[in-house]
Structure 1
Amino acid sequence: MERKDRRRADQLRPYRIHRHFQKYPAGSVLIEMGNTKVICAASIEDRVPFFLRGTGEGWIAAEYSLLPSATGTRSQREAVRGRQSGRTQEIERLIGRSLRSVFDTKAIGERTIMIDCDVIQADGGTRTASVTGAFVALVEACATFYEKGGIFPVRDFVSAVSVGIRACGDPALDLCYEEDSQAIVDMNVAMTGAGNFVEVQGTGEGRPFSRAELNQLLQLGEQGCRELISYQKDVLGGELVWLVGREG
C-alpha cells in the first residue's frame, strides 16, 4: 500500500543536519527528519561521575526532552511534574549507549561530554534522530580539544533509524508519527559505520512477528543507517571525517 507521503517502503524522509546551530556548546546541530526536528548539543565538563573519579577515564551522558509545543497536543514539562517519564529515561540511555559504543572514554581524560537532545517538533523517530544528530555534535565537540598526533576519541560513526510493519502489513523504513502510531511492529535500529548493531529495539505492538519479518526490518534498518552515516560524513567534511578513528 502506498505511503501517505508517497515514499517507497525503503526510503528515508527528507533529512538535513545544520551544524553550529548554537553559539555556546562545543558542538551543536539541528537535525531534521521529515517534520521531526531535534537540537543536539555537546558540552564538555571537567568532571566525571563518582565511579570514574581517579581512573583517568571520561564519560558520555545524555539528556532528552520533548518541548511542550513539539506535538499537536501540548504536553506538560517533566520539570513541572517533578519526575522523568520512563520513556525519557529509556531514550537517554539509548543515546548514551549508542555514542559510547564508538567512543574511547580513556582518550578524553576525566571529562564528561554532556549530550542534550531537545525535540522542538515531533513527527516520529525522535530518539533515532537524536542519536544521528548527537553524533555529529560529538565529533564537533571533540575536535575543539584534539591535539595533533594524539588519539581522537571518536573511533567510528554511528546512526539510528526507525523501521516497522505498517498497519497494512508492509515493512517500511523511517516511520512518521501516523505510521508509527498504527504500526503492527515498531523497531529502532542503531548501527556503527563498521556495520555492527548497537541497539535493536523491536516490539510486536499488534501481533508477534516472524523471523523473516525481523530479517526484512533489519535489512531496512541497515540500509537507512548506512545512508545516514554517508550523510554524516558529507556534513562533517573532509577534515573532521579524517579525524574519526585516528590514532596519532
Structure 2
Amino acid sequence: MRPSGRTADQLREVSLTTGFARHAEGSCLIRMGGTEVLCAASVEARVPPFLRNTGLGWVTAEYGMLPRATHTRGDREAARGKQSGRTQEIQRLIGRSLRAVVDRAAMGEMSITLDCDVLNADGGTRCAAITGAWVALALAFRHLVKMNVLKTVPLTGQVAAVSCGIAGGDAVLDLDYAEDSSADADSNFVLTDGGGIVEIQATAEKTAFNEAQFQELLNLARKGTAALFALQRQALGD
C-alpha cells in the first residue's frame, strides 16, 4: 500500500487555478496533492542579444522555493547571492519543455518569462511547474491575440510532466515526498499531447532497474500526462 493510499497508477488530486497573479499576462496556481506552485507569465517586447534580428521569440523560466515551502526553512537564494545548481537545472528544464511546443517564428521578437514559485513542496515540484507554466503561457498568448499583438496563438501542442518511480518493488505514478525520499528509483517524464518525449530524467537511487521496469514507468507517465492534458484544457475552457 502506498503511504497516500493511492493505487499505483493514480495521480494525487490536481487543480489548476487561472488568473491567480492578477497583474501577469497569464498565471496559474497548480496544486498536486501537497505541492503548490504559482506560475506567472510576463511578456517583454525584446529578446536576448543572441536572438536580435532573427525574427524568433524566446520563452524562458525562473524557478524558486519560498523559505518555508519545505519541512525546515531554506535560505533565500537572493540572500546567499547565487542560485543553487538545482535551481538552475530546474529552470532550464522548464524553459526547454515549454519551447518544445512553441512556434518561436510566429511569436516574433518578444520574450515570455515564466516565474515558477513553489509555495508548498511535497514532491514533484518541477513537474508541477512545467504543467502549470504551460497553462500560464497559453493564457499569455491568448492575451496577446486579444490585444492584437499576435494574430494566432503560437503553440504547437501541450506539454506536461509527471514523476514516476519504483517504490517497494512496484512502479508507481506521481510520487509524493514520502515515496520520493525512499524510492528505489525515481524519474521525471516531460511529454507532449502528441505523444512526443521532451525529456526523461531517471535515476536508480538504491538498485538498478531494467528495461521492463522503465517501460512500466513510461506507461504510467503517459497515463498521468493524459489526465494532466485534459485538466489543462479544462482550465483554459477548451
* TM-score, normalization by structure 1: 0.93
For residue 223 of structure 2, what is the aligned residue in structure 1? 223
Name the amino acid aligned to 2:154.
P
Equivalenced residue count is: 236
Q: 1:95-114 counterparts in 2 under 5 A?
A: 95-114=94-113
The amino acid across from 2:215 in the alignment is N
Aligned to 2:173: 173
Runs of 5+ unmatched residues, structure 2: none
1:43 maps to amino acid = S
Aligned partner of 1:76 in structure 2 is 75
AA aligned opposite 2:183: A
CA deviation profile, 1:11-41 (whole Å, cap 9, x unmatched)? 0000000000011110011100000000000
Output the CA distance in 2 between the equivalents of 1:175 and 1:217: 12
Deviation at 1:83, TM superposition (A): 1.1
1-structure distance, mates of 2:118, 2:16:
14
Q: What aligned pairs does 1:126-145 form with structure 2 within 5 A after superposition? A: 126-145=125-144
> Which residue number corresponds to residue 54 of structure 1?
53
Amino acid at match of 1:23: R
Q: Which residue of the partner structure matches residue 194 of structure 1?
A: 194
**Hey, what's the Cα distance between the residues in 2 that align with 1:98 and 1:138?**
12
Name the residue aligned to 1:155. 156
Q: Which residue of 2 aligns with 1:244?
A: none
Structure 1: 5+ residue stretches without partners: 239-248
Structure 1 residues 173-198: Cα deviation after superposition (integer angstroms, max 9, x where no partner):
00000100111111000110101111
Q: Which amino acid aligns with 1:186?
A: D
Letter matched to residue 165 of structure 1: I
Task: Give the aligned residue type for 2:40.
Answer: A
What letter matches 2:171 in structure 1? Answer: P
Q: Distance in 2 between matches of 1:17 and 1:95?
A: 17
1:8 aligns with 2:7: yes
**C-alpha displacement at 1:152, in angstroms?**
2.0
CA RMSD of aligned residues (A): 1.2
Match of 2:184 in 1: 184
Shifted more, 142-151 versus 78-87: the winner is 142-151
Which residue of structure 2 aligns with residue 123 of structure 1?
A: 122
Of residues 144-153 and 131-140 in structure 1, the stretch that sits farther from structure 2 once superposed is 144-153
Q: Which residue of 2 aligns with 1:23?
A: 22
State the secondary structure of the residue aligned to 1:220.
helix
Q: CA deviation at 1:108?
A: 1.4
> Structure 2: how far apart are the matches of 1:5 and 1:201?
24
Cα distance in 2 between the residues matched to 1:78 and 1:227: 34
Distance between the aligned counterparts of 1:164 and 1:73, measured in 2? 25
Shift of 1:150: 3.2
TM-score by length of 2: 0.97
- Decide which moves more: 35-44 or 76-85: 76-85
> In the TM superposition, what is the alpha-carbon distance from 1:47 to its structure 2 partner?
1.1
1:170, distance to aligned residue in structure 2 (A): 1.1
Deviates more, 1:142-151 or 1:101-110: 142-151
